[in-house]
Amino acid sequence: MTKIAVVIYSTYGHIISLANSVVKGIESTGATADLFQVPETLSEDVLAMIHAAPKDESIKVLSSPDVLTGYDGIMFGFPTRFGNVPAQISAFFDSAGGLWASGGLYQKPCGLFTSTGTGGGNEMTIRNSLSFLAHQGMIYVPLGCATSFAELTDLSEVHGGSPWGAAGIAGADGSRQFSELELKIGYIQGTDFAKVAAKLSAAIPDATPAAAAAAATTTTAAEKSDAVETETATPASKTAAATPPASSEKSGCCTIM
Ligand SMILES: Cc1cc2nc3c(=O)[nH]c(=O)nc-3n(C[C@H](O)[C@H](O)[C@H](O)COP(=O)(O)O)c2cc1C
Protein backbone atom coordinates (compact mmCIF):
# COMPACT_ATOMS: atom_id res chain seq x y z
CA MET A 1 0.00 0.00 0.00
CA THR A 2 1.27 3.46 -0.89
CA LYS A 3 2.21 5.52 2.17
CA ILE A 4 2.12 9.29 2.01
CA ALA A 5 3.29 11.75 4.67
CA VAL A 6 1.64 15.18 4.75
CA VAL A 7 3.93 17.62 6.56
CA ILE A 8 2.51 21.01 7.48
CA TYR A 9 3.03 24.20 9.40
CA SER A 10 0.13 26.49 10.29
CA THR A 11 -0.09 29.52 12.56
CA TYR A 12 -3.80 30.25 12.31
CA GLY A 13 -5.31 26.94 11.17
CA HIS A 14 -6.05 27.53 7.48
CA ILE A 15 -3.40 25.13 6.25
CA ILE A 16 -4.82 22.45 8.55
CA SER A 17 -8.21 22.66 6.82
CA LEU A 18 -6.57 22.39 3.40
CA ALA A 19 -4.38 19.51 4.62
CA ASN A 20 -7.49 17.63 5.74
CA SER A 21 -8.85 17.83 2.19
CA VAL A 22 -5.51 16.74 0.76
CA VAL A 23 -5.52 13.75 3.15
CA LYS A 24 -9.04 12.79 2.03
CA GLY A 25 -7.91 12.92 -1.59
CA ILE A 26 -4.91 10.69 -0.84
CA GLU A 27 -7.06 8.20 1.04
CA SER A 28 -9.63 8.09 -1.79
CA THR A 29 -7.03 6.22 -3.86
CA GLY A 30 -6.53 3.51 -1.23
CA ALA A 31 -3.22 5.02 -0.07
CA THR A 32 -2.59 5.89 3.56
CA ALA A 33 -1.86 9.43 4.70
CA ASP A 34 -0.11 10.42 7.94
CA LEU A 35 -0.44 14.08 8.89
CA PHE A 36 2.48 15.70 10.73
CA GLN A 37 3.28 19.24 11.86
CA VAL A 38 6.84 20.55 12.07
CA PRO A 39 8.09 21.84 15.43
CA GLU A 40 7.19 25.42 16.37
CA THR A 41 10.17 27.76 16.62
CA LEU A 42 8.41 30.73 18.23
CA SER A 43 8.07 31.14 21.98
CA GLU A 44 4.64 31.04 23.66
CA ASP A 45 4.98 34.79 24.33
CA VAL A 46 5.48 35.61 20.67
CA LEU A 47 2.70 33.25 19.60
CA ALA A 48 0.37 35.05 21.99
CA MET A 49 1.45 38.45 20.62
CA ILE A 50 0.60 37.44 17.05
CA HIS A 51 -2.68 35.84 18.16
CA ALA A 52 -1.69 32.40 16.87
CA ALA A 53 -4.29 29.67 17.17
CA PRO A 54 -3.65 27.03 19.84
CA LYS A 55 -1.67 24.10 18.45
CA ASP A 56 -3.78 21.17 17.28
CA GLU A 57 -2.50 18.49 19.63
CA SER A 58 -4.09 15.75 17.53
CA ILE A 59 -1.50 16.33 14.78
CA LYS A 60 1.78 14.54 15.51
CA VAL A 61 4.88 16.73 15.71
CA LEU A 62 7.55 15.54 13.28
CA SER A 63 10.57 15.83 15.53
CA SER A 64 12.98 14.15 13.11
CA PRO A 65 12.98 14.33 9.30
CA ASP A 66 14.35 10.76 9.28
CA VAL A 67 10.75 9.54 9.73
CA LEU A 68 10.08 10.60 6.13
CA THR A 69 12.37 7.92 4.69
CA GLY A 70 9.61 5.39 5.40
CA TYR A 71 7.14 7.02 3.00
CA ASP A 72 6.54 6.66 -0.74
CA GLY A 73 5.80 10.35 -1.14
CA ILE A 74 5.67 13.53 0.91
CA MET A 75 3.34 16.51 0.57
CA PHE A 76 4.29 19.77 2.27
CA GLY A 77 1.77 22.46 3.19
CA PHE A 78 2.59 25.86 4.71
CA PRO A 79 1.47 29.51 4.56
CA THR A 80 3.43 32.18 2.74
CA ARG A 81 5.81 34.54 4.45
CA PHE A 82 6.38 37.33 1.93
CA GLY A 83 6.39 34.75 -0.87
CA ASN A 84 8.75 32.50 0.99
CA VAL A 85 8.54 29.52 3.33
CA PRO A 86 7.89 30.17 7.05
CA ALA A 87 10.93 30.02 9.37
CA GLN A 88 9.46 26.90 10.97
CA ILE A 89 9.57 25.04 7.63
CA SER A 90 12.99 26.47 6.84
CA ALA A 91 14.30 25.20 10.21
CA PHE A 92 12.82 21.80 9.48
CA PHE A 93 14.46 21.72 6.04
CA ASP A 94 17.76 22.75 7.66
CA SER A 95 17.50 19.82 10.05
CA ALA A 96 17.38 17.43 7.08
CA GLY A 97 21.10 17.74 6.29
CA GLY A 98 21.66 14.14 7.34
CA LEU A 99 19.09 12.98 4.78
CA TRP A 100 20.81 15.06 2.13
CA ALA A 101 24.07 13.29 2.93
CA SER A 102 22.57 9.80 2.99
CA GLY A 103 20.17 10.29 0.06
CA GLY A 104 17.28 9.34 2.31
CA LEU A 105 14.74 11.35 0.29
CA TYR A 106 16.36 10.73 -3.10
CA GLN A 107 13.79 10.28 -5.91
CA LYS A 108 10.83 10.43 -3.55
CA PRO A 109 7.95 12.41 -5.07
CA CYS A 110 6.81 15.57 -3.32
CA GLY A 111 3.91 17.96 -3.75
CA LEU A 112 3.21 21.36 -2.21
CA PHE A 113 0.21 23.42 -1.16
CA THR A 114 0.04 26.80 0.49
CA SER A 115 -2.02 29.62 1.93
CA THR A 116 -1.83 33.39 1.59
CA GLY A 117 -3.62 36.32 3.14
CA THR A 118 -4.26 38.17 -0.10
CA GLY A 119 -3.08 35.90 -2.91
CA GLY A 120 0.39 37.50 -2.95
CA GLY A 121 2.71 34.49 -2.83
CA ASN A 122 0.21 31.96 -4.16
CA GLU A 123 2.76 30.59 -6.63
CA MET A 124 6.07 32.04 -5.43
CA THR A 125 5.87 30.33 -2.04
CA ILE A 126 5.84 26.93 -3.71
CA ARG A 127 8.45 27.87 -6.27
CA ASN A 128 10.74 29.27 -3.58
CA SER A 129 10.79 25.96 -1.71
CA LEU A 130 12.03 23.98 -4.70
CA SER A 131 15.72 24.53 -4.01
CA PHE A 132 15.50 22.43 -0.84
CA LEU A 133 13.64 19.69 -2.69
CA ALA A 134 16.10 19.72 -5.59
CA HIS A 135 19.08 19.36 -3.28
CA GLN A 136 17.42 16.36 -1.66
CA GLY A 137 16.89 14.88 -5.15
CA MET A 138 13.13 14.76 -4.66
CA ILE A 139 10.76 14.68 -7.64
CA TYR A 140 8.43 17.67 -7.58
CA VAL A 141 4.92 16.74 -8.73
CA PRO A 142 2.97 19.89 -9.64
CA LEU A 143 -0.80 19.97 -9.61
CA GLY A 144 -0.92 20.99 -13.26
CA CYS A 145 -4.31 21.69 -14.81
CA ALA A 146 -5.43 18.44 -16.40
CA THR A 147 -7.68 17.28 -13.56
CA SER A 148 -8.43 20.65 -11.96
CA PHE A 149 -8.98 22.83 -15.03
CA ALA A 150 -12.62 23.62 -14.18
CA GLU A 151 -11.74 24.56 -10.60
CA LEU A 152 -8.59 26.58 -11.33
CA THR A 153 -10.32 28.56 -14.08
CA ASP A 154 -13.52 29.17 -12.11
CA LEU A 155 -13.72 32.96 -11.92
CA SER A 156 -17.08 33.05 -10.18
CA GLU A 157 -15.32 33.60 -6.86
CA VAL A 158 -11.98 34.74 -5.47
CA HIS A 159 -9.84 31.68 -4.83
CA GLY A 160 -6.31 30.43 -4.37
CA GLY A 161 -4.61 27.54 -6.09
CA SER A 162 -2.52 27.28 -9.24
CA PRO A 163 -0.83 24.65 -11.37
CA TRP A 164 1.96 24.75 -8.77
CA GLY A 165 -0.35 23.45 -6.06
CA ALA A 166 -3.54 24.00 -4.08
CA ALA A 167 -3.83 27.18 -2.04
CA GLY A 168 -6.39 29.18 -0.11
CA ILE A 169 -6.88 32.86 0.62
CA ALA A 170 -7.21 33.60 4.33
CA GLY A 171 -7.91 37.34 4.06
CA ALA A 172 -5.63 40.15 5.18
CA ASP A 173 -6.82 39.66 8.76
CA GLY A 174 -7.07 35.86 8.49
CA SER A 175 -10.84 35.89 8.94
CA ARG A 176 -11.74 34.18 5.66
CA GLN A 177 -12.21 30.42 5.78
CA PHE A 178 -11.18 28.44 2.71
CA SER A 179 -14.03 27.92 0.25
CA GLU A 180 -15.40 24.60 -0.98
CA LEU A 181 -13.66 25.32 -4.28
CA GLU A 182 -10.25 25.76 -2.65
CA LEU A 183 -10.71 22.62 -0.55
CA LYS A 184 -11.79 20.68 -3.63
CA ILE A 185 -8.55 21.65 -5.41
CA GLY A 186 -6.68 20.30 -2.38
CA TYR A 187 -8.64 17.06 -2.62
CA ILE A 188 -7.81 16.73 -6.32
CA GLN A 189 -4.13 17.38 -5.63
CA GLY A 190 -4.07 14.72 -2.90
CA THR A 191 -5.72 12.22 -5.25
CA ASP A 192 -3.41 12.91 -8.16
CA PHE A 193 -0.30 12.95 -6.00
CA ALA A 194 -1.08 9.59 -4.40
CA LYS A 195 -1.54 8.02 -7.84
CA VAL A 196 1.83 9.34 -9.01
CA ALA A 197 3.51 8.17 -5.79
CA ALA A 198 2.03 4.70 -6.29
CA LYS A 199 3.36 4.55 -9.86
CA LEU A 200 6.80 5.77 -8.86
CA SER A 201 7.13 3.45 -5.87
CA ALA A 202 6.24 0.50 -8.12
CA ALA A 203 8.78 1.58 -10.72
CA ILE A 204 11.56 2.47 -8.29
CA PRO A 205 10.71 0.61 -5.06
CA ASP A 206 13.47 2.30 -3.08
CA ALA A 207 15.92 4.43 -4.96
CA THR A 208 17.96 5.59 -2.00
CA PRO A 209 21.69 4.87 -2.20
CA ALA A 210 21.41 2.80 1.00
CA ALA A 211 18.77 0.56 -0.61
CA ALA A 212 20.82 0.27 -3.80
CA ALA A 213 23.83 -0.81 -1.74
CA ALA A 214 21.70 -3.36 0.10
CA ALA A 215 20.34 -4.71 -3.23
CA ALA A 216 23.87 -4.98 -4.61
CA THR A 217 24.90 -7.14 -1.68
CA THR A 218 21.96 -9.53 -2.20
CA THR A 219 23.47 -12.67 -3.59
CA THR A 220 22.32 -15.95 -5.05
CA ALA A 221 23.09 -19.21 -3.22
CA ALA A 222 25.98 -19.87 -5.59
CA GLU A 223 27.33 -16.37 -5.12
CA LYS A 224 26.98 -16.86 -1.38
CA SER A 225 29.21 -19.92 -1.42
CA ASP A 226 31.73 -17.95 -3.48
CA ALA A 227 31.41 -15.20 -0.94
CA VAL A 228 32.19 -17.61 1.89
CA GLU A 229 35.41 -18.53 0.15
CA THR A 230 36.20 -14.89 -0.45
CA GLU A 231 35.40 -14.10 3.15
CA THR A 232 37.78 -16.80 4.31
CA ALA A 233 40.44 -15.42 2.06
CA THR A 234 39.93 -11.71 2.72
CA PRO A 235 37.80 -11.09 5.79
CA ALA A 236 38.89 -7.49 6.05
CA SER A 237 37.75 -6.50 2.56
CA LYS A 238 34.39 -8.30 3.08
CA THR A 239 33.80 -6.39 6.27
CA ALA A 240 34.59 -3.11 4.57
CA ALA A 241 32.13 -3.82 1.74
CA ALA A 242 29.32 -4.82 4.10
CA THR A 243 29.71 -1.81 6.34
CA PRO A 244 28.87 1.39 4.48
CA PRO A 245 30.52 4.45 5.96
CA ALA A 246 28.39 6.61 8.22
CA SER A 247 26.86 9.58 6.41
CA SER A 248 29.17 11.97 8.23
CA GLU A 249 32.18 10.07 6.89
CA LYS A 250 30.89 10.27 3.32
CA SER A 251 30.87 14.04 3.11
CA GLY A 252 34.18 15.08 1.66
CA CYS A 253 33.96 18.83 2.10
CA CYS A 254 32.06 19.11 5.34
CA THR A 255 30.57 17.05 8.12
CA ILE A 256 26.80 17.04 8.27
CA MET A 257 24.98 15.41 11.16
C1 LIG B 1 5.41 37.41 8.57
C2 LIG B 1 4.21 37.20 7.69
C3 LIG B 1 4.32 37.43 6.33
C4 LIG B 1 3.23 37.25 5.51
N5 LIG B 1 3.36 37.50 4.17
C6 LIG B 1 2.30 37.42 3.36
C7 LIG B 1 2.40 37.73 1.97
O8 LIG B 1 3.46 38.04 1.46
N9 LIG B 1 1.29 37.63 1.21
C10 LIG B 1 0.08 37.26 1.74
O11 LIG B 1 -0.89 37.21 1.01
N12 LIG B 1 -0.04 36.91 3.05
C13 LIG B 1 1.03 36.99 3.87
N14 LIG B 1 0.92 36.64 5.18
C15 LIG B 1 -0.35 36.09 5.68
C16 LIG B 1 -0.28 34.59 5.84
O17 LIG B 1 0.04 33.98 4.61
C18 LIG B 1 -1.58 34.01 6.39
O19 LIG B 1 -1.64 34.40 7.73
C20 LIG B 1 -1.63 32.52 6.26
O21 LIG B 1 -1.83 32.17 4.92
C22 LIG B 1 -2.68 31.87 7.08
O23 LIG B 1 -2.42 30.48 7.10
P24 LIG B 1 -2.48 29.70 8.46
O25 LIG B 1 -3.82 29.99 9.07
O26 LIG B 1 -2.36 28.24 8.10
O27 LIG B 1 -1.36 30.14 9.36
C28 LIG B 1 2.00 36.79 6.03
C29 LIG B 1 1.91 36.53 7.41
C30 LIG B 1 3.00 36.71 8.22
C31 LIG B 1 2.88 36.42 9.70
The DSSP code sequence of the chain is --EEEEEE--SSSHHHHHHHHHHHHHHHTT-EEEEEEPPP-S-HHHHHHTTPPPP-TTSEE---GGGGGG-SEEEEEEE-BTTB--HHHHHHHHTTHHHHHHTTTTT-EEEEEEEESSSTTTTHHHHTTHHHHHHHT-EE----STTTHHHHT--SS----BTTB-EEE--TTS-PPPPHHHHHHHHHHHHHHHHHHHHHHHHSS--SHHHHHHHHT---HHHHHHHHHHHHH-HHHHHHHHSPPPHHHH-SS----
Give the pLDDT confidence score for residue 210 in this predicted structure.
65
Q: What percent of the chain has pLDDT over 90?
A: 78
Whether 210 maps to a domain, the answer reads no
Residue 209 resides in a domain: no
Same domain, 89 and 150: yes
Between the CA of 87 and the centroid of ligand 1 the distance, in Å, is 12
Residue 136 has what pLDDT? 97
Q: What is the pLDDT of residue 72?
A: 97
Domain assignment of residue 44, yes or no: yes
- Domain-embedded: residue 211: no
**Does the pLDDT at position 230 exceed 50?**
no
**Domain enclosing residue 136, as ranges:** 3-203
User: Which residues form the pocket of ligand 1, taking CB atoms under 6 Å from any ligand atom?
Assistant: 10-15, 79-83, 115-121, 170, 174
**230 vs 207, higher pLDDT:** 207
Residue 245 lies in a domain: yes
Statement to judge: residues 154 and 68 lie in one domain: yes
pLDDT for the residue numbered 204: 77
Indicate which CATH number applies to the domain containing 195: 3.40.50.360
Which of the four pLDDT bands, split at 50, 70 and 90, describes residue 225?
Answer: very low
| Residue 194 and residue 242 share a domain | no
**Number of structural domains in the chain:** 2
- Based on the fold, state whether residues 142 and 224 are members of the same structural domain: no
Higher pLDDT, 224 or 204: 204
63 band by pLDDT with thresholds 50, 70 and 90? confident
Q: Above 90 in pLDDT, residue 228? A: no
For a mutational test of ligand 1's pocket, the pick from 18, 41, 82, i.e. the residue with the most ligand atoms closer than 8 A to its C-beta, is: 82
pLDDT tens, 2-59?
999 999 999 999 999 999 999 999 999 999 999 999 999 999 999 999 999 999 999 9
Q: What is the pLDDT of residues 165-184, one digit of tens each?
A: 999 999 999 999 999 999 99
Q: For residue 79, how far is its CA from the centre of ligand 1 (angstroms)?
A: 6
Residue 128 has what pLDDT? 97
**Same domain as 223, residue 104:** no
| Average model confidence (pLDDT) across the chain | 87
Q: How confident is the model at residue 139 (pLDDT cuts 50, 70, 90)?
A: very high
Q: Both 236 and 162 in a single domain?
A: no
pLDDT attached to residue 182: 98
104 and 231: one domain?
Answer: no
Q: Which residue has a Cα nearest atom 31 of ligand 1?
A: 81
CA of 129 to the centre of ligand 1 (A): 16
Q: Are residues 121 and 238 in the same domain?
A: no
In a domain, 20, yes or no: yes
For residues 151 and 228, membership in a common domain is answered with: no
> 196 and 235 share a domain?
no
